[in-house]
Amino acid sequence: MRYTSYLLFVIGLSLLFIAVTTFFKASPPHIPSVENGVIDLRDVENLDSTIVHLDGTWDFYWKQFTLTDESASSESRKTGIVVPKSWGIAAIDGTETTNIGYGTYELNIVIPDELVDKTFGLYIPSVATAYKLWIDEKLLLTSGTIAKNEADMVPENYARVVYFQPSDETIKVTFEVANFSQRKGGLWESIQFGVSNEISLLRDKHVAFQLLVVGAFTIMGIYNIFIYLLRNSLFYTKYIGFLCLMLALRTLVIGETFLLNVFPGLTWELQVKLEYLPIVFGPFLLVKYIHALYKEERLLGVERLVTVISIIFALIVLVMPAIFYTKYLAVLLIIIPLTIIYFGNVLLNAYVAGQPTSLLTLLSFTIFIVPIINDTLYFLNITNNGTYSVSGLFVFILSQSFVHAIQISNTYIQVEKLSEELLQANRSLEKKVEERTKESSHLYEKLRESEEERKNLMSDLAHEISKPLTLIKGYSEAMVDGKIEPQKDFLQIIYQSSLISERLIHDLSELSKLEMGELKMQFEAVELKQYPKHIFEHHRWTVENEGKRFIWIDQDEWQARAPEDAIIYIDENRMDQVWMNLIDNALSYAQDGKNIYMEVEWHANFDAMDEIAASGDTEKKEAKFAGEKIGECIIKIIDEGKGITQEDLPFIFNRSYRALNKPENDTGRGLGLAISIEIVKMHGGTIWVNSVIGKGSTFFISLPVYSRKGKEFPQ
């Protein structure tokens, strides 16, 4: 249940994240969007301090370079296209386009007349995959080599900035774009427009952020690898370290593409491989890290599947051209749900188990997986609010660096603690020896008391057995010697005395088996509604034979109140033995002219431990039966006898205890209650007693109740 709840929470958080980022990414309400190839900025206040996203519907000419190819017929092939989007899915007006091909984007930017003398600029994050930029039909920027076929096109793709001064209030922007190299084509990221100083500041911010990310990933990567080298026991830190260094390298080949400044001869194909390999290896390294960190063995199949998929795609990226693996890398997205399932399961289990730092890891993983889900949808062209996975991963890896620092710190703290404990142990050795001596003396005293109790028990049992044996011997000897005739009354005395001896020996044997767990129960599913009636009918004659009435207090109410389809699992013969013991006990204590009562209650939510009085054994065994537990049934046996003193109550279930005010007509040893409590425990129930001197006693037995809808109980 907790996994489902966590998954729903992550999905809800992802939807909220997408909604918020989409809202903030959208242009302010006072900034117009591009419509039919025109964006009118004349009414925009403070345009000279505003960055405008040139998003909307641009004019588009599919498979035509309108400026480079002078023979092109523009009007016949003009259509509209949504920017920013890959042109394979962005074309409108029914034009059939694919991500492989070429075309021309056109846009007219209308600015206020008073800003014509200003220098403006465009920030171009990424265009797939080669293009020429024309401002007012003047070629200002070339990225790669555009062509109408794959053989002649040279791809090049990284962020660029261009500055220009308009000649009048209408600026014509033309992009001639070709793509034969990867899955995306055209202006798939937002082009930003503004005065030159604002565009320069924007680029500086991107540069600063990207360098910050590179530096942070590099530092964390080196830090985690050094931890691994210095402490091999924390070998899982190497996975995070390698991932950090790979991400730092990837950051250098995307966006501002700083690596080209160091290696200007770096080919576009190699650049894309360096961009995609960390994506392919990332899930593999993260899964290996979490598995090693928490030693989770239950989802090894998921880990192995992620490993196999990562290795296969890594080989594809290394061997195949970008046009192949960028197109089919969407298949790799199956790792995302697998990783969420694996991480969620492992981290939730670790948190529930109370493992150190598991909460921090779970929270940081949640922060990380939400941008991952967002970027997956962005990769599939479902959303258009940007990518944020690097930021999420940065938070996760930073948190794991804290986790490793905490682990190392805890190790040193533990060493210091153990050193202090060892010092204290050396200082207090004599005191501990003295304490151990006292403990030994205490244990010896308890053993001596137990031995004394055993001797007393054996002495009492010998005395109990000797009384009926003396009667049997006396009467039988008198009849053998001819002193008395073998009359029925004398034979009845001999028979009753033999029964007393037999019962005492049988009770001792049964109690010993119960306490040692050697007595097996034959549990059966019994209807709850009918069981009290069985108790009442089965034992009523026993009470009435003693000249008393056995009264079921709430018999009619019970039939209306008891739940349907409810069952209890019992060994009827053993439970009848319990009821017989309680009823015999009630008859022994009941005063002349008083009756024995039975009362039955049903509780849907009940814990017998809360109701147990000072008397009785409060231990409760949890028996495992089939079906869903829906409540407990409490059956009371009530007498109107002398009652039991408060001093006796805590001990009446002990086999070696005899109450001080035990009735004279009770010839038993008192083992019945000790046997009863063991039988009730084996049924998953509880037994206890309340008593008031002069008013009587009430014995309670609580039994668990189950729904019949569950499985049949195995015999």
261 and 153, same domain (yes or no): no
Indicate the residue among 152, 179, 202 that finishes a domain: 202
Q: Is 324 within the bounds of a domain? A: yes
CA 208 from chain center: how many Å?
Answer: 39
164 and 211, same domain (yes or no): no
Kindly report the CATH number assigned to the domain that includes residue 66: 2.60.120.260
- The pTM of this model reads 0.56
CA 80 from chain center: how many Å?
Answer: 49
Average confidence (pLDDT) over 229-255: 90
Q: Is 419 within the bounds of a domain? A: no
Strands (E), 455-546: 524-527
Kindly report the CATH number assigned to the domain that includes residue 367: 1.20.1070
Indicate the residue among 187, 202, 217 that finishes a domain: 202
Q: What percent of the chain shows pLDDT beyond 70?
A: 84
**Locus of tokens 């993983």:** 365
In this predicted model, which residue has the larger pLDDT, 311 or 654?
311
Question: Is residue 433 classed exposed, middle or buried when 0-12, 13-18 and 19+ CB atoms within 10 A define those classes?
Answer: exposed
**Per-residue model confidence as pLDDT tens digits over 697-714:** 999 999 999 988 754 433
**pLDDT value at position 474?**
72
Q: Is 713 within the bounds of a domain? A: no
Q: Is 11 within the bounds of a domain? A: no
**Per-residue model confidence as pLDDT tens digits over 189-215:** 899 999 999 999 999 999 999 999 999
596 and 483, same domain (yes or no): no
Q: Is 6 within the bounds of a domain? A: no
The domain containing residue 191 runs over which residues?
A: 31-202
Q: By C-alpha distance, which of 153, 151, 152 is closest to 128?
A: 153
598 and 621, same domain (yes or no): yes
459 and 581, same domain (yes or no): no
Contact between residue 195 and residue 121 where contact means Cβ atoms under 8 Å apart: yes
117 and 223, same domain (yes or no): no
Tell me how far apart the alpha carbons of residues 165 and 115 are, in angstroms, rounded to a whole number: 10
Indicate the residue among 489, 516, 543 that finishes a domain: 516
Count CB atoms within 10 A of the CB of residue 39: 25
Q: Is 1 within the bounds of a domain? A: no
**pLDDT value at position 325?**
87
36 and 111, same domain (yes or no): yes
Kindly report the CATH number assigned to the domain that includes residue 496: 1.10.287.130
- When mean pLDDT is compared over 41-45, 253-257, 581-585, the highest value belongs to 41-45
254 and 303, same domain (yes or no): yes
Q: Is 15 within the bounds of a domain? A: no
477 and 376, same domain (yes or no): no
503 and 406, same domain (yes or no): no
244 and 281, same domain (yes or no): yes
**Per-residue model confidence as pLDDT tens digits over 333-373:** 777 777 777 888 888 888 888 888 888 888 988 888 888 88
Kindly report the CATH number assigned to the domain that includes residue 635: 3.30.565.10
194 and 306, same domain (yes or no): no
**pLDDT value at position 614?**
42
Average confidence (pLDDT) over 299-306: 80
Q: Is 5 within the bounds of a domain? A: no
Average confidence (pLDDT) over 280-307: 82
Average confidence (pLDDT) over 668-697: 84
Three-class DSSP labels, 313-364: HHHHHHHCCHHHHHHHHHHHHHHHHHHHHHHHHHHHHHHHCCCCCHHHHHHH
- How big, in percent rounded to 5, are the helix, strand and coil portions of the chain? 50, 15, 30
**Per-residue model confidence as pLDDT tens digits over 435-464:** 788 888 888 888 887 677 666 656 655 655
Domain count, the chain: 4
**pLDDT value at position 458?**
64
**Per-residue model confidence as pLDDT tens digits over 214-228:** 999 999 999 999 989
